[in-house]
């Protein structure tokens, strides 16, 4: 998590508690949590709209075919022929 260990996290929380105060800290933490969840949802929507996962899978197939001489379509058809024999 960003290279932040437990001691650093405790120092950050103590400073936030001193600066913000104990009454407002839960409200701010809740607002930050909601903001992060909305950001994640928006990022997932963008990934889905752009088809990042599909492009990544296609690139992995191309990489495998170039590096190892594997072709996913040919492998499945040759496996079916081998099972018939």
Is 20 exposed, middle or buried, given 0-12, 13-18 or 19+ CB atoms closer than 10 A?
Answer: middle
Write the CB contacts of 72 (distance below 8 Å, at least 6 apart in sequence).
61, 64, 65
Mean residue pLDDT of the chain comes to 81
3-state secondary structure (DSSP) of residue 26: helix
Number of neighbours of residue 84 by Cβ within 10 angstroms: 6
Q: What is the mean predicted confidence (pLDDT) over 26-50?
A: 90
Q: Dump pLDDT digits (tens) for 40-67.
A: 999 989 888 877 778 888 899 998 888 8
């Amino acid at each position: 998590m960003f290279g932040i260990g437990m001691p650093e996290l405790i120092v950050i929380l103590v400073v936030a508690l001193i600066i913000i105060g104990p009454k407002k800290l839960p409200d701010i933490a809740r607002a930050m949590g909601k903001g992060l969840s909305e950001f994640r949802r928006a990022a997932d929507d963008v990934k889905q709209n752009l088809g990042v996962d599909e492009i990544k899978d296609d690139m992995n197939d191309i990489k495998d075919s170039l590096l190892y001489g594997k072709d996913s379509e040919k492998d499945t058809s040759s496996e079916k022929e081998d099972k018939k024999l």
